[in-house]
A and B are shown apart, each in its own frame.
Chain A
Amino acid sequence: AQKITQTQPGMFVQEKEAVTLDCTYDTSDPSYGLFWYKQPSSGEMIFLIYQGSYDQQNATEGRYSLNFQKARKSANLVISASQLGDSAMYFCAMRDQSSASKIIFGSGTRLSIRP
């Protein structure tokens, strides 16, 4: 069964520091995709970054990078130079080939940036 685990319910980080949000996953499918979404207090889910299981390089999008360690089944999100506007819930999610439609979300990490 597919599963996403986020073990950090909440994190506090000083502004301008880098932060790593942990995510581990479980799937028996060799082909899958991993996502990170940001959800501010207003409620919308904002797509941040995607990593395919066969991608050779770690995904990067601006200040976001995904530390993909396939053997460990981890897909941590790294945010460099954090900003106050980064304060939000962050969800790791996965789609695999057995269910090409839906994505499974983790329980999320609440990130708070201190000024």
Chain B
Amino acid sequence: DTGVSQNPRHKITKRGQNVTFRCDPISEHNRLYWYRQTLGQGPEFLTYFQNEAQLEKSRLLSDRFSAERPKGSFSTLEIQRTEQGDSAMYLCASKDDDQPQHFGDGTRLSIL
């Protein structure tokens, strides 16, 4: 069990640029989640995959956000035309049936 891996750990970019984050879940976990956490708050759910199918999306996930899990293994989260308000920690979690969600270390995004 190597844990959930997220890359990069930190991303600094200018407003208006596109960014992409990657999440590698624990290998046998079929469910994968993305959350966003702003300073002083708990994580907020963004989206959820079971295998390669995206089964749920939060209203927080505007049309500038897209997530994929093409082969049911790793996932990417892309933000297009970044805005100041996108600055946050983006957390990925994975789980198997009847198990708690295991989180990665997150990607901290800073928009200049």
Instruction: Give residues in A with beta carbon < 8 Å to B.
Output: 4, 35, 37, 42-47, 50, 91, 93, 99, 101-108
Contacts and interface: CB of A to CB of B under 8 A. Distances in A.
B74 to A, nearest CB: 18
9 contacts: A4-B42, A42-B105, A91-B43, A101-B55, A101-B56, A102-B33, A102-B45, A107-B42, A108-B42
- Consensus secondary structure, chain B interface: strand
Contact of B42 (A91, A99, A101): A91
Interface of B: 31, 33, 40-45, 48, 50, 55-56, 58, 89, 91, 93, 100-106, 108
Contacts of B45: 102-104
A105 B42 contact: yes
B29 to A, nearest CB: 13
A100 to B, nearest CB: 10
B33 A47 contact: no
A47 B41 CA distance: 17
B45 to A, nearest CB: 4
Nearest to A43: B106
Contacts of A42: 105
Nearest to B44: A105
B101 A47 contact: yes
A35 B100 contact: yes
Contacts of A43: 89, 105-106, 108
Given A35-B100, A101-B48, 20 more contacts: A4-B42, A44-B105, A45-B93, A46-B103, A47-B101, A50-B100, A91-B43, A93-B42, A99-B56, A101-B31, A101-B56, A102-B33, A102-B45, A102-B58, A103-B45, A104-B45, A105-B42, A106-B42, A107-B42, A108-B42
